[in-house]
């Protein structure tokens, strides 16, 4: 373990160095000190684009949301213009003209933006669905840093057809689109431009009272020109959502102080289901539940839920499983996703001390509470407590997680997390664990110019009967990003007795070292926007004797074209020494023996078409070794949009494994056609069919959603599963759910 100690020491030294690096960005920008006034103090922050200030006057008359900017308040408002190009280049102004204006009253603030075209023709949009895919639509996005911490905030936006976008921000650039709030907008299309007006109530967001400055960024994606631009300049290696490069909105007077806010969201539920495999009759069920939101202050929320139902959550995308370890499926239930960065972002992708999908998927959730938000300017707090009901052999359980973060330096933070899973009313003779706990510390590095990012964490699990010596996990990750290159190093260790039952840790007892490098070249006067290569060495060692158990050496070369298409060749050299018996087909019939080692090479060619076209596609195909045999795989996605009313798509994959006896040749098809229709910006219908040959199943999921009032919905969800051979039904369910937001 000497290597781990050396790397950890080096990481600490690099933190001190990178936090002290002066922030020089593109366009000759340098980090500057900027002060804003507050009733109780003056706070100094570093923001690279502090010279970009939009002065916002209080409105003097009514604002009608109609896409016609004829009010006097718009005529006298200062305009944010001269947007800087971010992609395909970041060395000058955008070719397409953009204008953004703001004003505000006692209850809400307003935005108006005008985006002019330079190329005639239809503006590309995917659909009218809320929270559209950024790269598939002509759109405008607003990024608000209401605490001036360059880490957290809110995002609002619209595409050229008027579909809305809203979400919360974390990690200085990530947007969680599950979050919804009440706000209004109106989009109007003209021959040479499109115009949108927005009204966002102050009570819909959280902010520091008495502050007259917020960090802000305005971003535009013009797909016809293949041009992404931002009001305050952003280096092209970063998203326009990077709060490190935000400008400043200067209110004429501070926004109103936020009072106590309370929302009640009850629901009613009805379903009919039948399990044909078990031979049971149709089961009818009706129920109710509710969520409540209490704004304890302008920056702290209490969320409560009783008897929650998650039947409207999107179905998981199925995959062909050829892996040795548990697959990861993302959380899609709204209650767990709001402010999820406070709980779910600790550790790395393979070492999560808390993973909310462990709660409620094997037994119903009875009730829960979550307290989250800001404490002062530098502290964030998150506490969540959930209780599940007894289900069969599973006892009633309580899940508790607490997290606290303290901002340090310019944009970094130190965090602590505690997770507790407790079985309730444990009977005598119970053979399971009465409890499982994890505690840990983490440092998240983000330099003022965002060039240096990283994290350094350590966790300890507590499980009855487990040896205390190897219940640890720790990790170090450091990245340096510039326009021409990205460099990274990861080091992770997981002890063989580390046990995070409410987390996601698919494998234990290893030391992992993973350096990576990406290099990009930008040719002049070429159809290629940039090209370059990515290479990495990913190795796993057994900690006791440092025996190599896994090694992947990768070298990929890629081309990004000006027409938005992408071509990539991936090559991989593998070595795996099995620590446990493994069936490479994952059928569970025949196994490779533990202790055997395998070397192989494979290559994959990937092409993505121009996504601005009405018909777009992605295709990939590869061939090479696979343990003691060979593997051929073909994957793809086909998508045709009938804008602005939706699209029809299909994903597919085929894996052919050529292995020696007793396995022989094995082929797996996975096909998933999908129809997504948005009749209006409030009425949506989705049908998703998935045929998975590996698990011998056809799944049909159809969902109708009507947003009949702001943030109030009616859902009708139909689910069916069949045996593919004879189309005999396995199980079937029809669900009705209605929610209403009292605010």
pLDDT band at 299 (very low <50, low <70, confident <90, very high): confident
Which of 569, 573, 592, 578 lies closest to 547 in space, CA to CA?
A: 578
Which of 227, 230, 238, 221 lies closest to 137 in space, CA to CA?
A: 221
For 417, list phi and psi in degrees, rounded to 5: -135, 145
- CA–CA separation, 30 vs 48, rounded Å? 6
130 pLDDT higher than 50? yes
CB count in 10 Å sphere of residue 191: 7
* Interval 285-299 mean pLDDT: 87
Tell me, what's the pLDDT at 23?
A: 35
Tell me, what's the pLDDT at 16?
A: 43
- CA–CA separation, 29 vs 23, rounded Å? 8
26 pLDDT higher than 80? no
* Interval 218-231 mean pLDDT: 95
User: What's the whole-number average pLDDT of the chain?
Assistant: 90
Tell me the per-residue pLDDT of 622-679, one tens digit each, with 9 for 90 and over.
999 999 999 999 999 999 999 899 999 999 999 999 999 999 999 999 999 999 999 9
Measured in whole angstroms, how far is the alpha carbon of residue 581 from the centre of its chain? 34
The full length of the chain comes to 743
Token pair 């960065």 in the structure block, residue: 341
Contact 627, 584 (CB under 8 A): yes
Tell me the per-residue pLDDT of 547-582, one tens digit each, with 9 for 90 and over.
999 999 999 999 999 999 999 999 999 999 999 999
Tell me the per-residue pLDDT of 333-368, one tens digit each, with 9 for 90 and over.
878 877 788 999 999 999 999 999 999 888 999 999
Tell me, what's the pLDDT at 29?
A: 36
Tell me the per-residue pLDDT of 84-124, one tens digit each, with 9 for 90 and over.
999 999 989 999 999 999 999 999 999 999 999 999 889 99
Q: Which residues have C-beta within 8 Å of that of residue 7, sequence separation ≥ 6? A: 476, 491
Q: How far apart are the first and last CA of the chain?
A: 56
pTM over 0.95: no
Tell me the per-residue pLDDT of 576-625, one tens digit each, with 9 for 90 and over.
999 999 999 999 899 999 999 999 999 999 999 999 999 999 999 999 99
Tell me, what's the pLDDT at 601?
A: 98
Beta bridge partner(s), residue 688:
674, 701
CATH code for the part of the protein at 31-251: 2.60.40.1190
Residue 171, sorted as left (phi over 0), alpha (psi -120 to 50) or beta, turns out to be left
- CA–CA separation, 245 vs 138, rounded Å? 22
3 pLDDT higher than 80? no
Token pair 């000058």 in the structure block, residue: 92
Percent of the chain with pLDDT over 90: 78
Q: Which residues have C-beta within 8 Å of that of residue 496, sequence separation ≥ 6? A: 470, 508, 509, 543
- CA–CA separation, 607 vs 655, rounded Å? 18
Most confident of 6-20, 151-165, 319-333: 151-165
Tell me, what's the pLDDT at 188?
A: 96
DSSP secondary-structure letter at 16?
A: H
The region of weakest confidence among 311-320, 362-371, 534-543, 709-718 is 311-320
Tell me, what's the pLDDT at 47?
A: 67
Structural domain spans, the chain: 1-25+325-500, 31-251, 509-675
């Amino acid at each position: 373990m000497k290597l781990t100690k050396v790397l950890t020491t080096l990481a600490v030294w690099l933190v001190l160095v990178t936090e002290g690096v002066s922030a020089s960005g593109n366009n000759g920008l340098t980090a500057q000190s900027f002060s804003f006034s507050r009733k109780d103090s003056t706070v100094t922050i570093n923001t690279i684009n502090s010279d970009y200030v939009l002065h916002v006057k209080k409105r003097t008359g009514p604002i009608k949301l109609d896409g016609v900017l004829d009010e006097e308040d718009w005529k006298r408002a200062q305009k944010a213009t001269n947007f800087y190009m971010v992609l395909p280049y970041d060395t000058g102004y955008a070719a397409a003209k953009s204008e953004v204006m703001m004003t505000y009253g006692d209850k809400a603030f307003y935005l108006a933006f005008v985006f002019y075209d330079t190329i005639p023709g239809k503006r590309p949009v995917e659909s009218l669905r809320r929270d559209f895919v950024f790269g598939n639509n002509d759109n405008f996005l607003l990024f608000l840093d209401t605490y001036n911490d360059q880490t957290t905030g809110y995002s609002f936006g619209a595409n050229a057809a008027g579909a809305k976008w809203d979400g919360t921000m974390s990690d200085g650039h990530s947007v969680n689109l599950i979050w919804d709030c009440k706000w209004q907008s109106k989009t109007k299309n003209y021959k040479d431009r499109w115009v949108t007006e927005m009204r966002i109530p102050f009570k819909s967001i959280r902010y520091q009272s008495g502050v007259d400055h917020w960090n802000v960024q305005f971003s535009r994606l013009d797909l016809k020109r293949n041009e992404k631009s931002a009001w305050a300049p952003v280096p092209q290696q970063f998203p326009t959502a990077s709060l490190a490069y935000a400008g400043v909105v200067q209110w004429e007077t501070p926004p109103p102080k936020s009072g106590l806010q309370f929302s009640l969201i009850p629901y009613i539920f009805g379903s009919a289901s039948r399990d044909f495999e078990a031979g049971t009759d149709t089961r009818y069920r009706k129920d109710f539940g509710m969520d409540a939101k209490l704004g304890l202050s302008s920056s702290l929320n209490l969320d409560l839920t009783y008897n929650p139902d998650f039947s409207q959550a999107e179905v998981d995308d199925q995959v062909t499983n050829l892996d040795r370890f548990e697959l990861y499926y993302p959380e899609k239930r709204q209650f767990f996703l709001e402010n999820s960065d406070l709980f779910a972002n600790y550790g790395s992708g393979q070492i999560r001390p808390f993973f909310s999908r462990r709660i409620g998927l094997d037994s119903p959730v009875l009730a829960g509470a979550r307290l989250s938000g800001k404490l002062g300017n530098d502290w964030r707090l998150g506490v969540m407590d959930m209780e599940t009901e007894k289900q069969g052999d599973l006892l009633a359980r309580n899940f508790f997680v607490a997290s606290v973060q303290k901002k340090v330096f310019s944009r970094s933070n130190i965090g602590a997390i505690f997770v507790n899973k407790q079985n309730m009313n444990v009977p005598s003779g119970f053979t399971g664990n009465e409890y499982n706990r994890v505690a840990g510390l983490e440092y998240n590095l983000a330099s003022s110019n965002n060039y240096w990012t990283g994290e350094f964490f350590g966790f300890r699990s507590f499980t009855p009967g487990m040896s205390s010596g190897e219940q640890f996990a720790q990790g170090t990750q450091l990245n340096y990003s510039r326009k021409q290159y990205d460099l990274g190093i990861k080091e992770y260790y997981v002890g063989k007795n580390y046990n995070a039952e409410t987390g996601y840790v698919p494998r234990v007892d290893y030391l992992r070292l993973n350096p990576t490098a990406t290099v990009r070249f930008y040719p002049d006067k070429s159809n290629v926007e940039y090209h370059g290569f990515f290479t990495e060495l990913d190795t796993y060692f057994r900690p006791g004797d440092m025996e190599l158990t896994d090694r992947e050496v990768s070298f990929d070369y890629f081309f990004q074209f000006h027409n938005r298409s992408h071509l990539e060749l991936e090559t991989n050299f593998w070595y795996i020494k099995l620590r446990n018996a493994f069936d490479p087909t994952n059928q569970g019939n025949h196994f490779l023996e533990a202790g055997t080692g395998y070397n192989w090479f494979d290559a994959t060619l990937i092409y993505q078409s121009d996504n601005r076209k009405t018909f777009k596609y992605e295709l990939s195909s590869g061939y090479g070794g696979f343990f003691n045999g060979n593997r051929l795989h073909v994957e793809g996605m086909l998508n045709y949009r009938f804008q602005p009313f939706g699209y029809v798509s299909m994903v597919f994959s085929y894996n052919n494994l050529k292995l020696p006896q007793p396995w022989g040749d094995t082929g797996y098809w996975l096909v998933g056609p999908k129809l997504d229709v948005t009749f209006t910006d409030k009425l949506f219908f989705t049908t998703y069919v998935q045929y998975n040959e590996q698990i011998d199943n056809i799944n049909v999921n159809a969902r109708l959603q009507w947003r009949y009032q702001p943030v109030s919905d009616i859902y009708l969800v139909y689910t069916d599963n069949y045996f593919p051979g004879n189309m005999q039904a396995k199980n079937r369910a029809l669900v009705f759910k209605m929610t209403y937001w009292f605010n």
